[in-house]
């Protein structure tokens, strides 16, 4: 895991980055690896890949963070990327793999009320995706919206959103 994280930092080759992210994502299926990746500063390295201009690399980084977000301690570190993930969801092509990967991560990050405030500005986008997206996109957006709606503090924001 340490070598994969180092490889991500050391290369500019999108194919190598993509493969390293896939491997880290698969490794994150095991809780012990989630802790190891966090302790090796892997979350910030993977999060740094969110600004990559290659859509496949960005998608794989979102998938890896999604798998790593199943751990509360990891969520505490991943939350710094929520605003960037929301912007990625908003700017990605409609129904794209990048958009869906971002929505999946936001779903996991919105299971608790801890980070809902960071998603408020994206509510209009979520509602737009609900009306314009494909069924896959709509289902993923609904998961985020259901999580947000479970928080009474979000009611006003959800009802006042400009669509």
Containing 147, the helix (H) or strand (E) segment is: helix 135-149
Q: What topology does CATH give the domain 1-79? A: 1.25.10
Q: Would you give the distance in Å from CA 68 to the centre of its chain?
A: 10
Q: Which two tokens mark 66? A: 């999604």
- In the chain, where are the structural domains located? 1-79, 80-162
Q: Is the full-model pTM beyond 0.85?
A: yes
pLDDT of the chain along its 163 residues, tens only? 999 999 999 999 999 999 999 999 999 989 999 999 999 999 999 999 999 999 999 999 999 999 999 999 999 999 999 999 999 999 999 999 999 999 999 999 999 999 999 999 999 999 999 999 999 999 999 999 999 999 999 999 999 998 7
* Four-point Cα dihedral 151, 76, 86, 12, nearest 10: -170
Q: Which of 1, 7, 47, 3 is nearest to 24 (CA)?
A: 1
């Amino acid at each position: 895991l340490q070598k994969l994280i180092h490889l991500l930092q050391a290369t500019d080759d999108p194919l190598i980055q993509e493969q390293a992210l896939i491997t880290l994502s698969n490794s994150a299926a095991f809780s012990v690896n989630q802790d190891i990746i966090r302790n090796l500063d892997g979350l910030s390295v993977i999060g740094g890949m969110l600004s990559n201009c290659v859509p496949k690399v960005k998608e794989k980084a979102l998938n890896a963070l999604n798998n790593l977000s199943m751990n509360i301690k990891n969520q505490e570190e991943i939350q710094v990327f929520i605003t960037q993930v929301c912007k990625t969801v908003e700017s990605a092509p409609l129904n794209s793999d990048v958009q869906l990967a971002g929505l999946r991560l936001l779903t996991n990050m919105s299971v608790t009320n801890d980070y809902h405030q960071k998603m408020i500005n994206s509510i209009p986008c979520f509602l737009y995706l609900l009306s314009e997206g494909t069924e896959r996109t709509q289902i993923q957006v609904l998961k985020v919206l259901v999580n947000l709606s479970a928080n009474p503090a979000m009611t006003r924001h959800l009802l006042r959103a400009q669509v």
